[in-house]
Structure 1
Amino acid sequence: MRLSTFTSRGLLLSLLVAAAAQAQELPTLRLGDVKGDRYASLRASGELENLPYNVKLTPFAAGAPVLEALNADALDVGFTGDIPFLFVHAAGAPVKAVGAWRYNTHTVALVVNGDSPVNSVADLKGKRIAVNRGGWGHFLALGLLERNGLSEQDVVFSFLGPVDGRAALARQSVDAWVPWEPYTSNALLVDHARVIADGDGIMTGYSYALASEKALVDTQKKALIADLLVRLARAQQWALAHPQEMADALAEDLKLPPQVAKRWVEQAQITPVALDDTVADSLQKAADFFHRHGVLPKALQVRQAFDFSLNQGVENVVETAAR
């Protein structure tokens, strides 16, 4: 078990909250989330009830804007995928990974229209693929091309966000698109798209909780982030045990069709994990892959992008659930 440098989290948080209460004002943690889906698990599980601090949520359509907001000191902590994190780390942004969770890599997929003549990755030679530049879509597309003996020179990438990527596939201005959840379930159930290949064996399978370095050197903010990470881990375990309730929460919060939310929860199987060497090594492999393909201009050593000091509470939650 990794020893934490933040073992007094509970006592410290209590003291901070007591001090704030005396001042008649609760401290506030500024949270950024992709579409608010992890926040939905916190809310639906009851982990936000009687919270001894305020959480100010800002939802974003994708991970890159979360990171931009962290870099601009508009957030204290943000939830996002691992791949977008590489680019802000490469740019020297003052952001650290402080928590992680695992998702089913099958849910990041290469899809085509239901009536498309494309039936395999090899069929995409000379075709146009919509991906989000420097994100999960871009990473998976490059990995699938490499696995099938093709390169990025064999296709044309259209760099689009998820909303525009979906629209481009619908109007057939691209031949394929790489979405992730809930866009994958929406594409299959609403747009009747077909999966040609998915992220199994290519995607790392991790998403992160990231914190600004400014928040991490603030004793009060660090205590709040550590507490929120524990609550998130418990909320994710609750969601695994209550899939229908979690689907209902996502449908309500994100205004999704119920069948889309249900499939998302069933397929994603989001599971809290301890932030450890396995997680860090997976990001290193992703960085090496993107550098090899010229997407990242320089080689990275990502270990310095992690702050393991807030991990103890989450590790305790994970270990207790495994007993």
Structure 2
Amino acid sequence: MRPAVRFAGLLLALSLNPLWAAEKVTLRLGDVKGDRFASLQASGELNNLPYNLKLTAFDSGAPVQEALNAGALDVGFTGDLPFLFVYAAGAPVKAVGAWQNNPDSIALLTRPDAGIHSLEDLKGKQIAVNRGGWGHYLILGLLERAGLKPSDVTLRFLNPVDGRAALTYGSVAAWAPWEPYIATSTQVDGTVRVPDGGGKGVMSGYSYALARKEALSDPKKRQAIADLLTRLAKAQVWAAKHPQQFASVLGQALNMPTSITRSWIADAHIRPLVFDQSLIPALQKSADFFHRYGVLPKEVNVSDAFDFSLSANANQIAKQNAGDKS
């Protein structure tokens, strides 16, 4: 497990009275690339926390899941598909909150000289994807869209860093990443999107806040998690309304050029979701889809994968945000 961005030893103890710090519960949080945490920090939602928050940030969702499963984290932010796999494997975690990325911010990239001008051109090509993740799901959906079978291509299972290198240096003809890898690859490496190769119509774009059952059984941690979910929803609304300021903060936090973080924010269009039972069918659809292709070895019923009891205040923020845009 190798965090790409590690806020080493970051321990936030922001109580107005430092003498209370010893009594405050600590939440151990894992994030992917740090964008959620950056929005929390930039928006001021980390001010005056009634608990301590310790963060580790990772390359992708899978290592967040590994850390949750191992008991190294209390809460993790990750995509829906990494969650699906650890839930299917019996990991002691539940989804407790949700947000959505623009599905087209998950997309298939190629090099201009790779000869891929349509989805049909993928036949016979090697394609890099992250096994069991957004890229894997996307390519299977795109192959269906093009009337192709998985056997018509060769899938190379690579992490995002290796997938980018494989496309750049010609080891594969296409790669299925998400933001900020899309912005980085297109701006720095000169790659392009495959026409009709975005996730709209294939992906939900959902991501989840996950919590270990141990944390959910602790009254103080439950209260802290509910508070964190509310602050995250507020932070995501703030980030969407202040894209230039957020892009600057995000670039500094992750050591990325602001041109890339601006593109990432505009493409991903992240928004908090009302976290209720209406989300269950989307995850069930993904489980059934992956089982049909043998990616998930068994059928999975996801109806017990959620704990909706902590999201009431965060849901109010999501509803207000949706109303502002109606």
Q: What TM-score comes out, normalization by structure 2 length? A: 0.91
Give the equivalent residue in structure 2 for 1:144. Answer: 142
Q: 1:243 and 1:268 mapped to 2: Cα distance?
A: 11
Residues 8-40 of structure 1: CA distance to partner in whole angstroms, max 9, x if unpaired? Answer: xxxxxxxxx999955744321100000111000
Give the equivalent residue in structure 1 for 2:280. Answer: 280
Deviation at 1:99, TM superposition (A): 0.2
Matches within 5 A, 1:229-268: 229-268=229-268
Distance 1:230 1:153, change over 3 A: same
Letter in 1 for 2:126: R
Give the equivalent residue in structure 2 for 1:28. Answer: 26
Q: 1:102 and 1:24 mapped to 2: Cα distance?
A: 36
Query: How many pairs does the alignment contain?
Result: 307
Give the equivalent residue in structure 2 for 1:10. Answer: none
SS in 2 for 1:304: coil
Q: 2:295 and 2:123 mapped to 1: Cα distance?
A: 20
Please tell me whether the aligned partners of residues 41 and 239 of structure 1 are also in contact (alpha carbons under 8 angstroms): yes
Deviation at 1:278, TM superposition (A): 2.4
Matches within 5 A, 1:68-147: 68-147=66-145
Letter in 1 for 2:291: H
Give the equivalent residue in structure 1 for 2:215. Answer: 215
Q: 2:16 and 2:31 mapped to 1: Cα distance?
A: 28
Distance 1:299 1:24, change over 3 A: closer
Give the equivalent residue in structure 2 for 1:291. Answer: 291
Please tell me whether the aligned partners of residues 16 and 48 of structure 2 are also in contact (alpha carbons under 8 angstroms): no
Distance 1:170 1:89, change over 3 A: same
Q: What TM-score comes out, normalization by structure 1 length? A: 0.92
Letter in 2 for 1:296: L
SS in 2 for 1:302: coil
Deviation at 1:256, TM superposition (A): 1.1
Q: 1:319 and 1:174 mapped to 2: Cα distance?
A: 43
Please tell me whether the aligned partners of residues 274 and 319 of structure 2 are also in contact (alpha carbons under 8 angstroms): no
Structure 1 segments unaligned to the other structure (5+ residues): 1-16
Matches within 5 A, 1:182-197: 182-196=180-194, 197=197
Q: 1:162 and 1:102 mapped to 2: Cα distance?
A: 20
Please tell me whether the aligned partners of residues 20 and 26 of structure 1 are also in contact (alpha carbons under 8 angstroms): no
Q: 1:91 and 1:276 mapped to 2: Cα distance?
A: 23
Residues 80-131 of structure 1: CA distance to partner in whole angstroms, max 9, x if unpaired? Answer: 0001111101100000000000110111010001222111111111110000
Letter in 1 for 2:125: K
Q: 1:91 and 1:152 mapped to 2: Cα distance?
A: 24
Please tell me whether the aligned partners of residues 107 and 177 of structure 2 are also in contact (alpha carbons under 8 angstroms): yes
Residues 209-256 of structure 1: CA distance to partner in whole angstroms, max 9, x if unpaired? Answer: 000001000111111110000000000000010001111111011111
Does structure 1 residue 226 correspond to structure 2 residue 215? no
Matches within 5 A, 1:303-322: 303-321=303-321, 322=323
Letter in 2 for 1:158: R
Please tell me whether the aligned partners of residues 133 and 159 of structure 1 are also in contact (alpha carbons under 8 angstroms): yes
Moved more, 113-122 or 251-260: 113-122
Please tell me whether the aligned partners of residues 33 and 66 of structure 1 are also in contact (alpha carbons under 8 angstroms): yes
Q: 1:24 and 1:73 mapped to 2: Cα distance?
A: 22
Distance 1:55 1:162, change over 3 A: same
Paired-residue identity, %: 57
